[in-house]
Chain A
């Protein structure tokens, strides 16, 4: 278990629900439903630059804690969503290419879309607590959110990657290749 990943995860977890509430400009609220997801971005980074199994575990733990903290409708949505998307991002980057910047950003963008889609699908079709139409979701929520998070991922690419990889060179490589 990587201590550096733990540090990043803790910072990201604390900022979701606090920083994210204050960060977005008010003017955006009418035009798009942007939801910053630093937790998901950090999870994708951990999945790519540390190990996807570790991201799976962290994603599940952080998601479960968030679900319990904000227990409104049901527990388990964010837990499984974050875990699955983090693992898939790590596995996909390893499967399709090497961990480059483009691959990482694409993984963050697609991962955010997938997570958004998963949340939307669960709340719309499984739990039926929301009836936002799918077209509206895609244009107003899915794509703008994913873009915002991808830009955030670009901004933190170098520092996060160096931070995580420096921790990794000190440990043995396992399970890669």
Chain B
């Protein structure tokens, strides 16, 4: 069989051209969601959801069986936590009341008062992308439930990702482990360090799979960033919520040029075997573009 000059070579070349065209055209373009895509998504993901949820239930049950012998210890610790929680709730109520009174005193407009009332929508994960370089999970809330692109997704622990693409009944979540500073397709998250908000603004824009750490970059050179500092979202701009924990600082260093600092952050959330997540809705004030 002659390889060069045969028809097979033409087919391979044609396939390569079509591949380059297809990936090039669909790369980092936000095509609006089409009917065909919705139909495919909702049918397939419905089936996948059954399997994924069943496995999540099995895994949870197995976890329960495994930990039955430490339930007594856990019970004791939980009682103590409950007392602390009750005390914290009382303090929270006090603070909320004081907050309301102060806002009244400063004559906040109704719009300003509503700004930080986030709505936390619980969602179940129904499927997980098998592609290791395209970290997407699918949740079972969609545009019919009011989900929009760029909403924050939080799991127990901390920020997990952003809503990337919305269909009527399901949405794609781009995980933080997909962030890459060099990629034209990647969106950074603006953060600061809890307790040092004035001086430590930065961007989480990169995740390194070899170390498992996020990179917080563009921090002011003179900012004091220490190991153990807690990184939370800044939430400026009214679109992305603030105060959500992203992770803890592991190390910090000057950038290559020396103008800014960067820090390595260990994410608090786990990105495997996601089961339940929260989607955080920021109530839109009038006049603010969504």
User: Which residues of A are interface residues toward B (Cβ below 8 A)?
Assistant: 14-22, 26, 29-30, 33, 35-37, 39, 65-66, 68-80, 83-84, 119-120, 122-123, 126-133, 136, 140-141
- Output the nearest chain B residue to A37 by Cβ-Cβ distance: B130
Q: Are A77 and B131 in contact (CB under 8 A)?
A: yes
The answer to whether A76 and B172 have CB atoms under 8 Å apart is no
Contact partner, B174, options A19, A30, A72, A136, Cβ 8 Å: A72
Between A and B, 6 residue pairs with Cβ closer than 8 Å are A17-B128, A36-B130, A68-B37, A69-B138, A74-B22, A129-B185
- Which residues of chain B are near A131, meaning CB under 8 Å? 180, 182
Could you tell me if A18 and B27 are in contact, using CB atoms closer than 8 angstroms?
Answer: no
Contact assessment for A127 and B128 in the assembled complex, using a CB-CB cutoff below 8 Å: no
In the complex the two chains form, what is the Cα distance from A72 to B28 in whole Å?
A: 8
Q: Which residue of A lies closest to B209 (CB)?
A: A132
Whether A71 and B26, one on each chain, are in contact in the complex, defined by CB atoms closer than 8 angstroms, is: yes
- Residue pair A14, B47 in contact (C-beta under 8 Å): yes
Contact of A71 among B19, B44, B55, B165 (CB under 8 A): B165
* A17 contacts B129, C-beta separation under 8 Å: yes
Residues of A within 8 A of B128 (CB): 17-18, 20-21
Contact assessment for A129 and B186 in the assembled complex, using a CB-CB cutoff below 8 Å: yes
- On chain A, the residues within 8 Å of B174 by CB distance are 72
Q: How far is the CB of A25 from chain B (nearest CB, A)?
A: 11
Listed in ascending order, the chain B residues whose CB lies under 8 Å from chain A are 15, 19, 22-24, 26-28, 37, 40-41, 44-45, 47-48, 51-52, 55-56, 58-59, 127-136, 138, 164-165, 172, 174, 178, 180, 182-186, 209-210, 212, 272-273
Of all chain A residues, the one with the shortest Cβ separation from B174 is A72
Complex Cα spacing A36 to B129, Å: 12
Number of CB contacts from chain A to chain B under 8 A = 139
Partner of B131, one of A18, A22, A119: A119
Say how far A79's CB is from chain B's closest CB, in angstroms.
8
CA separation between A113 and B138, bound complex, in Å?
27
Whether A33 touches B209, Cβ cut-off 8 Å, given contacts A17-B127, A18-B52, A22-B55, is yes
Compute how far the CA of A109 lies from the CA of B285 in the bound complex, rounded to whole angstroms. 55
Decide if A70 touches B51 in the complex (CB within 8 Å): no
Contacts of B210 in A (CB 8 A): 132-133, 136, 140
The distance from the CB of A73 to the nearest CB of chain B, in whole angstroms, is 6
Please tell me if the beta carbons of B48 and A72 are within 8 angstroms of each other in the complex.
no
Indicate the member of A22, A35, A72, A133 with the most B CB atoms within 10 Å: A72
On whether the beta carbons of A127 and B127 are closer than 8 Å, the reply is no
Interchain CB contact (< 8 A) of B27 among A29, A74, A130: A74
Give A131 to B183 CA distance when docked, in angstroms.
9
Nearest CB of B to A133, in Å:
7
Closest approach, in angstroms, between the C-beta of A58 and any C-beta of chain B?
15
